[in-house]
Amino acid sequence: MDLPKTPSFRLDGQRALIAGASSGIGLGCATALAEAGAEVTLIARRADRLDAITEEMRSRGWAAQSLPMDITDMAVVEQAVAENGPFDILLNAAGLARHSPAVDTELADYDAVMDINVRAAYFLTRTVAKGLIAAGRPGSLINISSQMGHVGGPDRAVYCATKHAVEGMTKSMALEWGPKGIRVNTICPTFILTELTQPTFDDPAKRAWIEDKIKLGRVGAVADIMGAAVYLASEASSLVTGTSILVDGGWTAD
């Protein structure tokens, strides 16, 4: 008797653009996509880090190039995607957080977090989509949102607003581009130990709050996000669009 064919999680022949690839979740996802066979192009501002990462990837036999840039500069992004695309996969992990009680939020902090987490994410996603549409190719576009795109967090009104915005734009883009075979999804991590969250984890009261909220009893690691990235990028998720994968250890189930 024939058994159903398991869809492939391999990404051979796929071209992936990873933003925020110089550290943390972006670096982890870039590694996972490259190991799964994708040719990866890495974006971040720290060129020295990207060069070291691509060198290490190439030494493992993976195809990798670095493309240092600030993704809040839309003209630079558009030119880079035009010259180096089209990309079959986008994994956008570039992001920022600045926390304060809502009554104390400074306008400059509000603008900085909105600029990268929403404005840059929006235009990067649509720039990659435009390249795919022009080439008549399908694709998988993934933004790293957050569990904070589904719930609130104390002192995190601006950050939560940006991640809820990413969830909304994902659904709308998925509706528009679904007929063209372009899927759009988010991954929503809980607290993962990275450069971004180190100050939060260094505060014993905040660490205790996190450990209490994550029902699986441990804080997150970058490796916890890597499998979701490969799944959403691959044909294994070919009927998945306009949604999010929560990798939150049970936080939002509470």
Ligand X SMILES: O=C(CO)[C@@H](O)[C@H](O)[C@@H](O)C(=O)O
Ligand Y SMILES: NC(=O)C1=CN([C@@H]2O[C@H](COP(=O)(O)OP(=O)(O)OC[C@H]3O[C@@H](n4cnc5c(N)ncnc54)[C@H](OP(=O)(O)O)[C@@H]3O)[C@@H](O)[C@H]2O)C=CC1
Binding region for ligand Y (CB under 6 A): 19-26, 43-46, 70-72, 93-97, 116, 144, 146, 189, 191-192, 194-197
Hey, what amino acid is at 213?
Answer: K
Q: Binding residue for ligand X (CB under 6 A) from 62, 87, 159, 177?
A: 159
The secondary structure element, H or E, covering residue 223 is helix 223-233
Cβ proximity of 126 and 174 under 8 Å = no
Cβ proximity of 100 and 151 under 8 Å = no
Q: Tokens for 189, please give them.
A: 């991590």
Output DSSP code: residue 187.
E
Q: Torsion over CA of 229, 98, 23 and 138, rounded to 10 degrees? A: 30
Nearer to ligand Y, 120 or 174 (CB): 120
The answer to whether 161 contacts ligand X (rule: CB under 6 A) is no
Q: Tokens for 192, please give them.
A: 């993962």
Print the binding letters for residues 32-71 with ligand X: x by CB under 6 A, - otherwise: ----------------------------------------
The answer to whether 158 contacts ligand X (rule: CB under 6 A) is no
Output DSSP code: residue 203.
S
93 makes contact, choosing from ligand X, ligand Y, none, with CB < 5 to 8 Å by partner type, with ligand Y
Please confirm, yes or no, whether 122 is among the known catalytic residues: no
d(CA 151, CA 214): 14
Annotated catalytic residue within 110, 122, 159, 231: 159
Smallest gap from residue 229 Cβ to ligand Y (A)? 11
Q: Binding residue for ligand X (CB under 6 A) from 23, 65, 100, 200?
A: 200
Site residues (CB under 6 A) for ligand X? 97, 99, 146-148, 156, 159, 190-191, 196-197, 200
* Catalytic machinery residues: 159
